[in-house]
Chains A and B, each alone.
Chain A
Amino acid sequence: MAVADPPIGAVAAPARRPRGFWSRLFRDKPLGAFGAVVLLFFLACGVLADVIAPYGFNDISPLDRIQPPSLEHWFGTDNLGRDVLSRCLYGAQLSVIIGLSAAFLATLISTLIGIVSGYFGGRIDLLVQRFVDAWMIFPELVVLIVVVSVLGPGMPQIIGILGLGLGIAGSRIVRSAVISVREHMYVHAAQSIGAPSPRILWRHVFPNVLPPIIVLLTTRVGTAILAESGLSFLGLGVPPPAPTWGSMLTGSGRTYMFDGPWLALAPGLCLTVVVYSTNVFGDALRDLLDPRMRGSR
C-alpha cells in the first residue's frame, strides 16, 4: 500500500521515487525499527536454537545446580543444573512456533469473519456480531484454561484455541475496515458490472483492508506468546520438560529463586523484551501503513 494508484489523467511519472517501507521504518520510526531488529534476533535464536544453544534444554547435571551466571553458564543454572541460557533459547523456539502459528491462524479467522460480516451486512452481520459480543466477554486465559482442562494440555490445542479466540476477537477490526471500503466507488463499480461476490471480496476488498490485517498479525504474535506463557506459568501449557518461558517462572521453581534470583530474571526478561518489541513494531507499522488507526489502541 506504499504506492497509491495515480488519479485518472495524471502523468505517471513521480518526480521522486517514494521511499520503500523499510527505509521509512528506519528513518521515521527508530523505536519501531529497534523492535523489528529485536524480533528478528529472537526469531533467529528460535530457529537456530539447536545449533547455538551451548547445552541441551534438559541436560541435567546435579553437581552444577543453582550456579550463578558465569562464563560457562551465561544465565546460570537451575535447580537441576540445567543451563538457563540454553533453556531460554529453546524457549524462544517454542514461543516462535506458538506465536507465529497462532497469530497466522487468528488473522486468517479474523479476516474471514470480518470480511463476510462486514461486506454482506444485514442479518448475517447481526448474527455474527452478537456471537462475537458474547465471545468477547470471556477472558482469553479463562477460555484457554477451560479448553485445556477438557482436551488436555498440548501444543496443537493451545495454538488452535489461541488462533480461534484471538481470531474471533480481532474480527471487529477487519469488519470495520471492510465496512468503510464497501462504500467506495470501485466496489460499487465492480458490483454494477456484475462481478461475483467472491471476486469482489478477493480482488477489491481484501487488498484494501490488508494494512489493518498486517498490523493485527504483528500485534497478535505478542499476545499469543504472552497468553501461552501465562498458561505454562499455571502449569497448563506445553507439558514439561519442554522449556517454555512461562513454565521456567512457575511456582515449583519459585522456591529455588530465593537462592538463585537469576532464575526469576532470565525468562521474564526474554518475555518482556519480545512483547515490548512486538508492541513498538506494531505501533510503528500502524502509523506507517494505516494512518486511520493512529492513536487508537
Chain B
Amino acid sequence: MRTYILRRLLALVPTLFIASVIVFVTVRLIPGDVIDLMLSQNDLTASSRTREQLIAALGLDKPMWEQYLHWISRIVFHGDMGTSLWRGTPVTQQLLERVPVTFELGAIALLVGLAIALPIGVYSAIRQDTTGDYVARSFSIVLLAIPSFWLGTMVMVFPSIWWGWSPSVEYVPFTESPAKNLHQLIVPGVVLGAALSAITMRMTRTMMLEVLRQDYIRTAWAKGLNERLVIVRHALRNALIPVITLVGLQVPLLIGGAVIIEQIFVIPGMGLLMLEAVQQRDYPVVTGVFLMVGVVVLMVNLVVDLTYGLLDPKVRMR
C-alpha cells in the first residue's frame, strides 16, 4: 500500500506542472487595453498606482517564461500567490478562508447525493423492470436534466411564495455555530447533490445488475444467505468500486456547480471569491482561485484513488 500511495503522489507532479502552465497562460492572455480598463474601472490611480506599477504588479514586464518561473517558485517555496489588487490582502490568506467553506458545501452535496443514489440504485437493480424501477429511472433522468441554478432559483422563490419560508442567506461560520452553519448549508448542499445523485443512481443500477448476474452471487443465494447479506455484502461491495471512480470524475463538475450555488445562496466560498474577483478584474485573485480549484480536484481524485486501492487489492498490485 505504501508504494501505491507513493506512486500516486509522484504521478501528480507532471499533472500539477501542466495545470499550472494552463492557469498561467490563460490569465496572461490579457490584452493591453484591459490594463487601461482596470485603471479606469478600479480607480487604482487614486491609490497612487501608475500604469507601469500595475504592469509590474501583474508581472507583465518580463518575458513569459521568466514570469512563469517567478510566479511558480513564489508559490512552491513561499506559498505566496501575490496580493489582491483591490484589497491588498495576500491571495493565499483569502483562499485559506474560502476553501474550507466550499469544501464543506461539496462534502454535504456528496453525502446527500450518495444517500439518495445508493439505496434507490440498489432498489432499482434488485427490482429490475418493476414499476418502482421505471419510476426511479425516469426520476433520475429528469433530475439529470434540471440545471442546478434553476433548481436553486426555484428553491429560493417557491417556498417563499407558498409558505413564506426561504433559505437563510446570512452565512454563519462553522466555528461560531455548527448548528446554524449546517442548517444554512443543507439546502444548497441538497441542490448541488441532486444532479450528482442522478448520475450515481444510474451507475449503481447498471453495476448492480452486472454483479447480480455473477456466479458468486448465485453461490451466495444457493448456500441460503438472507437477501440483506447477499445484496449488501456480496453484491454492493463489488458494484461500488466503479461507482467510486465515477464519483471521483464528478468532482470537477461539483466544484463548477458550487460556483453557481454559492452565488445563489450567498455562501462565501471559493466560487464567490472568484466571481467577486472577476467583477473587480482582480487578476492575482482570479489566478489563485483558478489554480486552487485544480489543486483541490487533484487532491480529491487522489483520495478517491487511494480509497479505490483500499477497496480493491488488484488495483494496488498494478
- Which residues does A use to contact B, with CB under 8 Å? 130-131, 133-143, 145-152, 226, 229-230, 233-234, 236, 246, 249, 251, 254, 257-258, 261, 264, 267-268, 271-273, 275-276, 279-280, 295, 297
Contact = CB atoms under 8 A, between A and B. Distances in A.
A271 B21 CA distance: 35
Interface in B108-147: 141-142, 144-147
17 contacts: A131-B18, A134-B15, A134-B18, A137-B297, A137-B301, A138-B294, A139-B253, A139-B297, A141-B256, A145-B259, A147-B29, A249-B149, A258-B161, A267-B150, A272-B142, A276-B142, A297-B199
A145 B257 CA distance: 12
A271 B142 CA distance: 12
Contacts of B27: 146, 150
B30 interface: yes
| Chief secondary structure at chain B's binding surface | helix
Q: When A and B form their complex, which 6 residue pairs have the shortest distance between CB atoms, in order from nearest? A: A139-B256, A276-B145, A134-B18, A268-B150, A141-B256, A149-B278
B154 to A, nearest CB: 6
Contact of A138 (B21, B29, B297): B297
B157 A276 contact: no
Given A149-B286, A261-B157, A137 B141 contact: no
Contacts of B147: 226, 229-230, 268, 271-272, 275
B118 to A, nearest CB: 17
A136 B157 contact: no
B153 interface: yes
Contacts, number: 143
Interface of B: 14-19, 21-22, 26-27, 29-31, 34, 141-142, 144-147, 149-150, 153-154, 156-158, 160-161, 199, 202-203, 206, 252-253, 255-257, 259-260, 263-264, 274-275, 277-278, 281, 283, 286, 289-290, 293-294, 297-298, 301
| Chief secondary structure at chain A's binding surface | helix
B252 A136 contact: yes
Nearest to B290: A146
Nearest to B30: A150
Given A230-B260, A234-B263, A280 B141 contact: yes
B293 A134 contact: no
B153 A268 contact: yes
A41 B30 CA distance: 40
B153 A257 contact: yes
Contacts of A152: 34
Contact of B158 (A131, A137, A261): A261
A186 B222 CA distance: 48
A150 B146 contact: no
A106 to B, nearest CB: 16
A236 B298 CA distance: 27
Given A137-B297, A271-B147, A279 B29 contact: no
A226 B31 CA distance: 28
Nearest to B142: A276
A144 B56 CA distance: 26
Given A139-B256, A151-B31, 7 more contacts: A133-B15, A138-B252, A226-B147, A258-B161, A267-B150, A279-B145, A280-B141
